[in-house]
Chains A and B, each alone.
Chain A
């Protein structure tokens, strides 16, 4: 019934990690872009997600 052992000493990241971080920031960029676009459309009375006005 033990939790895993984990040192707080930094471990060098493996090669996959930088690609993982790239995907992560791409997803955040998409979230900001879609949210920003939808809010702009809505606040200007033009419609927005999930359809047109």
Chain B
């Protein structure tokens, strides 16, 4: 089969876009589902949170599977499985069964790490940042497009939406299987496959730099999904009077105004992500290494520095959001929120511009660990945000007590001038293996 890396990038991006569309399609129709089944607020909250339940463990398994069986087979399996379940959910009349089916459809969200692995197998080190950024950024838009377009196309007919999402998912699965190719060369494919064992998984999980990247992704993507869930409530309560003054007096109006601010963060974080990959490539080309402590002579040292800068920006922006909130300025808070969205995109794009370079023989396992475990942070942050005496101070609490230690650990783990991936726990065991 004749193919090229651009075709593989397009296949992976379309597959990921559709998976994210399926992932968040339940949320897009939650008001219709709630009205149809007369759901309580608690039941609605459970339905909304169920979308993320499968992500941490699912991404770990999917990452390993993409190394073991190849990205096309793994991705096609996810698309077909979620597509069939989506079709089944279109004909379900019982809420309990529908809930279960939509949890299974939400497994589509784990496909992210499979595509990361796929793209990494085709693109060279000098362009990996832009390629991964285009894949992840464009695919992420599927979530926003779902919220924006699905209710407008299908109205309250969520059955029809679930049916068509599933059918098209099956078509894309077939396309992925026929035209997708796991790696640029057979040698590369075989190397990744033989390394996809338990020992390799333990190796990745125990590396300081992998843990640092996982924490970096928790600071960026973990924060992004936490903010998606938290911000509407934050603006409704923290800026209630200011939003009323804008003319949004009804409950529905308050929801729309608060939802708009939350969506701006999400949209900016998604669509600026390719820019971060591009910046990582640019740092690499110009050999920029401005930060202290972080390695300067590694082949990919400039990318480590770009990610370090991104993490500093996220920490500062979070502190800024607390300051803006305490001033009571809605406009300033929204401006800082846009800055947070951009800083988050820098962190997400910067992280996955590095992962395939640090673990070229285990890209799926590494992506699964870093992209999977980090999503648990999305559950932790809102608890801290809501736990303070003042609704505005939670951001600086997270910045000071969580992000600053994560940042210091990143600087520490990225200081090795030679093979940072060789440093970690169980050093003696892996040293024996190397010998």
A residues engaging B (CB < 8 A)?
A: 1-8, 10-11, 13-14, 16-17, 20-21, 23-24, 27-28, 30-31, 34-35, 38-39, 41-45, 47-53
Contact = CB atoms under 8 A, between A and B. Distances in A.
A8 to B, nearest CB: 5
Counting chain B CB atoms within 10 Å of each CB, the highest count among A20, A24, A31, A41 belongs to: A31
Nearest to B285: A10
B257 A49 contact: no
Contacts of B381: none
B233 to A, nearest CB: 16
Counting chain A CB atoms within 10 Å of each CB, the highest count among B5, B134, B270, B421 belongs to: B134
Contact of A48 (B260, B300, B301, B357): B260
A49 B148 contact: yes
B430 A42 contact: no
A24 B130 contact: yes
B422 A4 contact: no
Contact of A49 (B137, B260, B300): B260
B292 interface: no
B379 interface: no
Contact of A3 (B130, B148, B263, B419): B419
Interface residues of B, number: 60
A30 B145 CA distance: 12
B271 A28 contact: yes
19 contacts: A1-B419, A1-B433, A4-B360, A6-B300, A6-B357, A20-B130, A24-B275, A27-B137, A27-B274, A28-B274, A31-B271, A31-B272, A34-B267, A35-B338, A42-B261, A45-B248, A50-B148, A50-B151, A53-B253
Contacts of B261: 42
Given A3-B357, A3-B360, A11 B126 contact: yes
B256 A53 contact: yes
A18 to B, nearest CB: 11
Contacts of B203: 1
A5 to B, nearest CB: 6
Nearest to B277: A24
Interface in B382-435: 419-422, 430, 433-434
B5 A43 contact: no
A28 B272 contact: yes
Given A8-B302, A27-B271, A42 B130 contact: no
B127 A45 contact: no
Counting chain B CB atoms within 10 Å of each CB, the highest count among A21, A23, A27, A48 belongs to: A27
Interface in B160-191: none
Interface string B121-143: 00011110011011001100100
Interface string B105-126: 0000000000000000000111
B134 A24 contact: yes
Given A3-B360, A50-B151, 7 more contacts: A1-B361, A1-B422, A2-B421, A5-B299, A8-B299, A17-B130, A38-B260
B267 to A, nearest CB: 6
B228 interface: no
Closest 10 pairs (CB-CB, A-B): A45-B247, A31-B271, A48-B260, A6-B299, A6-B125, A4-B360, A24-B274, A11-B126, A42-B260, A35-B264
B341 to A, nearest CB: 8
Nearest to A11: B126
B268 interface: yes
A23 B419 contact: no
B133 A53 contact: no
Given A6-B125, A49-B148, A41 B260 contact: yes
A23 B260 CA distance: 25
Contacts of B248: 45, 53
Contacts of B141: 27
B331 interface: yes
A9 B261 CA distance: 43
